[in-house]
Amino acid sequence: MSFEVRQAVRVWLAALLIGACASEPELNRYRLGDTGPGRSGGSRDPVIEDLRARYPAYFEIVLDPTSIVDPDLRPLRRDLEKHPVDRENFDALNAVAIGYFEMNARTGLDSDTGESGGTYFADSFRTAKLIAVPVRAYGGTPDPNLRDAILDFFEDIAAGRKPGTRVTGARLVRILGSLEQKESDPERKARIRQIVSRLRHVRALPGRRRGLVSARQDPGPSNRRGGDERGG
């Protein structure tokens, strides 16, 4: 291999490494906060497509509106709690959030019948188990960026913009309150108190029960119910 070729290869590898280092921090965060219900749960959503290969069995279950199977949360728990913190921790957090929002949306009551869907109880138990994953990780990591990302997730719930969160968000008050006891940073403690306050004041508004996948297939504004539940 000539000197010129070796130099070209070195430059190419260096550029590749720099590009990877530059793009990686963009993924080391909570990625659903700026998405509306259609974008954060549709089967073609870019975040889901990015994470599906890492957790294929998990997404097969949580995105199936007819499934009552408990997903195996051990891979997510392992990745979210790993040390040192890297992209895998944040991938696991975002996967938890997608599963929570999808199944949580299906636990709401149908505005026409006043009845819940056939997977109501299964989805309720599964969302409770999902929430326990980041709560446990929060107490086990000293990493400030990961703790902030976990709070971003709970803040997204408290905002009440995604389907079902206005109905179920208030159930998390006690759980979020427990995080304050695990926190020593005064600014983060204050943030937790703000999230808890928002959850306490969340109010259920009328809206048709639907998951995020079905929200992506929504035919249009004229056929929507419960407009206040829609995200941006």
Q: Which two tokens stand for residue 42?
A: 């549709």
Tokens 């995200």, residue located: 231
- pLDDT interval class at 41 (50, 70, 90): very low
| Three-point CA angle 165, 169, 174, nearest 5° | 165
Nearest to 47 by CA among 9, 11, 92: 92
Mean pLDDT of the chain: 76
- pLDDT for 12: 40
129 pLDDT more than 80: yes
Task: Give the C-alpha distances (Å, rounded to integers) separating 57 from 82, 91, 141.
Answer: 20, 15, 26
- pLDDT for 131: 95
Once rounded to an integer, what is the mean pLDDT over residues 50-73? 93
Specify the higher pLDDT residue, 111 or 67.
67
Q: Which residues of 141-157 are buried (b: 16+ CB within 10 A; e: fewer)?
A: beeeebbbbbbbbbbbb
- Dist. CA 26–CA 89, nearest whole Å: 13
- pLDDT for 97: 96
- Dist. CA 98–CA 130, nearest whole Å: 10
- pLDDT for 116: 52
**Helix residue spans in the chain (DSSP H):** 3-27, 46-52, 56-62, 74-80, 87-105, 120-140, 144-159, 165-168, 173-181, 186-200, 212-216
Nearest to 104 by CA among 192, 52, 166: 166
- pLDDT for 104: 85
pTM of the model: 0.74
Q: What is the pLDDT of residues 89-118, one digit of tens each?
A: 999 999 999 999 998 888 764 434 444 556
Q: What is the pLDDT of residues 139-171, one digit of tens each?
A: 999 999 999 999 999 999 998 888 878 777 778
SS3 for 219? coil
